[in-house]
Chains A and B, each alone.
Chain A
């Protein structure tokens, strides 16, 4: 009897392990944990129901946006091996072009600079195309370069974009007689209608507002924000679907071949340069779209929003999840936002809730001095005061540790089959147990199965 139960138990365990092996399950568990923890934090901080839901909504919004950009970056680095560290530049181009196209022709009130007054869908399309074109401009000459030179070129490009947007020269200019402007360092204010109005003005939306009011006590503004986040999640799913399809297509197989060994791909008659240009442009256009969706509802934008920090965040998310894995990119964005981006702030609030911290010394010297006389309190207070600075230190250290311990990330095992037909589904008996005659080419961990 007991042997039977243990057998059953092990059976159950292997089943669970097999289930755990699936990326979707890991993502589900991770996200459920993230939301539960944040709901618990909300409770501990004494938030009301709408506060908690709003916290979770904000998380969702951030995860969706970072997820989109990370997926696009995964297309560059994970699938093709293009080391793009100019992500922020392409996002900036997308958003700025969209805003410049959408702003009304006659500037009113505080909004100093005119735009073209185009309808929103056209403006978004324009922004995406502009980001893609920028990618083309960078890609055509730069793809001949080594990975590290390519990286430096892309970050230099992103800085050129940011500094160009900051400079006074492009503050206001005219193209074919139409006045446009980037607003220079002061940036652009949004003086067009809410871009989500297409949805908000639907008949059905008012019942959504009523529903959220009944469920969480949301007002109309919060309901709109929630709907916006839901739309972003849908777009994220679209991104995932698109990139998953791309990577599984014959086109995607060539990309993986380029990543593993570009010369080998060339020797098989593939024009690798053309593939690289295409995929780079596609990824940049997607980054542009993510940049647009990230901030086009806000009251305004300044060039400081596109400092190299943004690129750094996306890279951490990608590396947490594992380059080359789309599910990993989504998981990585979730973990990055929950643990590294939002986490420290909530931890700080929690500490504040539990203990009264008191006045911190205002310099590091004032914090360290008492340590010599075995009084750690001022140092702890100072650390607490500077928590948000330390958050950035934490991000940097996290990246270093990831490179040390898990350079392939959580899901970046990169064992995708290159063959068009499924190989794994065949019964074991047919494939035989002996070594394959082809030799041990699978030990490179690439697409060689």
Chain B
């Protein structure tokens, strides 16, 4: 009897999950069908949809790039780091300070330049900051954003996270919320709370697509090249180097890694540095792409990054990249049905919650193989 009960119960649990999956599946098919029919009949403009997809991919690349770091620390240190979004902002400010300094040397004094013109003393347009006009300034900024953030994140680990590393995921999570809050307002203290424009306009190429144009600017291209190169770099680092092997071993089983002689503390350090560096460059690229910088864009990005990481499965960098693209494209595609842009973020969060409910281990099966 009891086995029958068990089977019935299992069936019931299974059916509720499958029911949810069914509902989501039907919804997805309905939306897709509507999209195809709409495109075929001309209700939805093909070029507009293509623009949404392109924007979504670009946005998704940023989320994915930042997500790699979050995913790595999540799986190796076992906690959800709520300060990661503010690492993104910090990196952007570090990098753009250098870009302004290089591009504006002699035009304005050093202080305002390094602080990215806190009182709007100069603007990016005045300094003519763009990948085409001032490539060296942009590349220097990108490099500094990565390196300086990596070191900065290491410092924060030493001060805030290392002392409580052994006390489990939740205390670390709460600590990270405190770090996020403190860091965000330190940024306001140093860089001020004003929003400023950072770039001059750049040339772009227009592609004709049936009923309109899709335009790809020089900064869009820079974002794609830089993000893909960094993602490939991380892939080779994890797959080909000894450090990568050690990282994968640690995320798999920390104690086992320790007894095998892997210097876990050193691996943790490298994890923070790689994750922080990627977060910093993602922040820099985001500002290059959108052309504005403010003190809380990283925090606002954080939940989207979480959404991407959870969607892809924690611990998988490919999952984070894929999740980022899904979130980015999904957010922008939502504007086909829900115009105005009020609902893009809501769509992303709902996507994440759905994935959590249907497949908590993420689309990439929760394989913690970095």
* Contact surface of A with B, Cβ cutoff 8 Å: 83, 85, 141-142, 144-149, 151-153, 155-157, 159-160, 163-164, 166-169, 312, 315, 319, 362-366, 368-369, 386, 389-390, 392-393, 395-400, 402-404, 407
Contact = CB atoms under 8 A, between A and B. Distances in A.
List 10 A-B pairs, minimum CB-CB distance, nearest first: A365-B111, A396-B182, A399-B178, A396-B181, A167-B342, A392-B185, A400-B178, A156-B349, A403-B175, A393-B185
B174 A160 contact: no
B80 interface: yes
15 contacts: A156-B303, A159-B345, A159-B349, A163-B343, A163-B346, A363-B119, A364-B190, A364-B192, A365-B112, A386-B189, A392-B185, A395-B181, A396-B180, A396-B184, A403-B164
Among A397, A402, A403: residue with most chain B CB under 10 A: A403
Interface string B16-33: 000010000000000000
Contact of A400 (B170, B175, B310, B360): B175
B356 A160 contact: no
Given A151-B173, A404-B163, A168 B303 contact: no
A397 B169 CA distance: 19
Main secondary structure of the interface of B (DSSP, over half): helix
Interface of B: 20, 79-80, 110-112, 114-115, 118-119, 160, 163-164, 167, 169-171, 173-175, 177-186, 188-193, 303, 306-307, 310, 338, 340, 342-343, 345-346, 349-350, 352-353, 356-357, 360
A379 to B, nearest CB: 11
Given A156-B352, A364-B115, A168 B182 contact: no
Contact of A168 (B163, B189, B340, B349): B340
Given A366-B111, A369-B111, A163 B342 contact: yes
Contacts of A147: 169-170
B178 A396 contact: yes
Contacts, number: 146
A400 B179 contact: yes
Contacts of B171: 403, 407
Main secondary structure of the interface of A (DSSP, over half): helix
Given A152-B80, A155-B303, A168-B340, A392 B175 contact: no
B165 to A, nearest CB: 11
B167 A407 contact: yes
Nearest to A318: B174
A399 B119 contact: no
Given A167-B342, A169-B343, A399-B174, 8 more contacts: A83-B173, A141-B357, A160-B350, A167-B343, A169-B342, A365-B111, A393-B185, A396-B185
Contacts of A389: 185, 188-189, 193
B313 to A, nearest CB: 12
B182 A397 contact: yes
B220 to A, nearest CB: 27
A407 B178 CA distance: 13
Contacts of A156: 303, 306-307, 349, 352-353
Contacts of A144: 360
A396 B183 contact: yes
A151 B81 CA distance: 12
A403 B174 contact: yes
A153 B80 contact: no
A72 B177 CA distance: 20
B310 A149 contact: yes
Contacts of B357: 141-142
Nearest to A404: B163
Nearest to A394: B182
A19 to B, nearest CB: 32
A366 B119 CA distance: 11
A115 to B, nearest CB: 22
Contact of A362 (B119, B163, B170): B119
Nearest to A138: B353
A389 B184 CA distance: 10
Nearest to A365: B111
Nearest to B160: A400
Contact of B181 (A149, A169, A392): A392
A147 to B, nearest CB: 6
A26 to B, nearest CB: 23
Nearest to A169: B342
Contacts of A152: 80, 303, 306, 310, 352, 356
Nearest to B182: A396
Contacts of A169: 338, 340, 342-343
A146 B314 CA distance: 13
A366 B186 CA distance: 16
B331 to A, nearest CB: 12
